[in-house]
């Protein structure tokens, strides 16, 4: 199968392209610079896209979007985060809907931020949306696939948890601190932390491409969410380092801004991958200890 991928320069995108190639699939990736072999050009900001890239493709995986935790959430930055997702998804969805023979499936990235801060509530794909900036972004992001859905394309909204990889992302930023013995819980540490290993994130993408029964929201999250306190202890244990520091909420808010700190670091999301499990997906890293052992070995 040929798979078209956007966002291929990111942590997940790079790993996905490698995994698809290893599995014998051909890929075409969208780029904004002049395209080379195996690439096609697009520019969501101005609405241009090479439609020929979809000829003969069986699936599209859409991962493009500005990093949500890379910078403080100023009004301008929030506009970039929201706009990059909605504009690119709308362009892709409309383009696919206008093709004579579109790919069978569009896997469009989303996030568990859709559910908002929910305390100890166990969240599945049937749980309602929450409040906050993340939830607002995810609702608009998912709604932007409407044209593809109306055209009869199977659309999957992959609501991903925090993806763990030593090569980048949240874990990549934490490792130097924890290795130096400076890691610690955030706030009370009682907030739930939902996560997924990078290889299970890639496995989930490939599973939903191949499983025609999966449509709509699918939680890409390990089946054993942990509290921030448990995550801190697990990472410290895996690195054989102490984790005695506790970062107070006011320090996080001062450093990162109140809304970003409250939603990304202090908010509680206990998400369960009901539809992945029901459709037969078998996690390679079902527990945090297993994931950290594989990642840090």
All structural domains of the chain, each given as residue ranges with its CATH number in brackets, are 2-165+194-222+270-281 (3.40.50.720)
Residues (pLDDT < 70) of the chain are none
The predicted structure's pLDDT at residue 70: 87
SS3 of the chain: helix, strand, coil, percent, to 5: 40, 20, 35
Residue-wise pLDDT tens digits, 212-226: 999 999 999 999 999
The predicted structure's pLDDT at residue 297: 82
pTM, two decimal places: 0.96
Angle at 253 between CA 251 and CA 256, to 5 degrees: 105
* Partners of 65 in beta bridges: none
What the block records as the tokens of 32 is 């904004």
The predicted structure's pLDDT at residue 8: 96
DSSP 186: E
The predicted structure's pLDDT at residue 119: 97
The DSSP element (H or E) to which 295 belongs, if any, is helix 288-296
The predicted structure's pLDDT at residue 189: 97
Q: In whole angstroms, give the CA distance from residue 1 to residue 28.
A: 11
Angle at 69 between CA 3 and CA 240, to 5 degrees: 95
**How far, in whole angstroms, is CA 11 from its chain's centroid?**
10
């Amino acid at each position: 199968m040929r798979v078209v991928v956007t966002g291929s320069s990111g942590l997940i995108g790079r790993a996905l392209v490698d995994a698809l190639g290893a599995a014998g699939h051909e890929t075409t990736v969208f780029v904004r610079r002049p395209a080379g072999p195996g690439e096609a050009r697009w520019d969501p900001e101005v609405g241009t896209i090479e439609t020929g890239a979809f000829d003969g493709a069986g699936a599209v995986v859409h991962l493009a979007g500005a990093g949500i935790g890379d910078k403080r959430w100023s009004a301008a930055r929030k506009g970039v985060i929201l706009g990059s997702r909605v504009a690119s998804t709308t362009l892709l969805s409309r383009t696919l809907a206008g093709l004579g023979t579109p790919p069978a499936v569009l896997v469009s990235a989303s996030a568990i931020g859709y559910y908002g801060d929910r305390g100890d509530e166990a969240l599945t794909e049937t749980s309602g949306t929450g409040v906050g900036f993340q939830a607002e972004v995810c609702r608009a992001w998912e709604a932007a696939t409407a044209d593809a859905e109306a055209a009869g394309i199977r659309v999957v909204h992959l609501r991903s948890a925090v993806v763990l990889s030593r090569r980048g992302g949240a874990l990549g930023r934490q490792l130097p601190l924890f290795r130096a013995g400076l890691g610690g819980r955030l706030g009370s540490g009682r907030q739930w932390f939902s996560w997924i290993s990078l290889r299970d994130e890639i496995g989930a993408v490939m599973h939903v491409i191949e499983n025609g029964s999966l449509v709509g929201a699918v939680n890409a999250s390990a089946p054993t969410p942990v509290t921030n306190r448990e995550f801190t202890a697990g990472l410290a244990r895996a690195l054989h380092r102490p984790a005695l520091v506790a970062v107070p909420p006011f320090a996080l808010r001062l450093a990162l801004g109140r809304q970003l700190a409250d939603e990304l670091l202090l908010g509680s999301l206990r998400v369960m991958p009901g539809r992945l499990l029901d459709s037969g997906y078998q996690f390679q890293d079902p527990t945090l200890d297993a994931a950290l052992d594989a990642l840090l070995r």
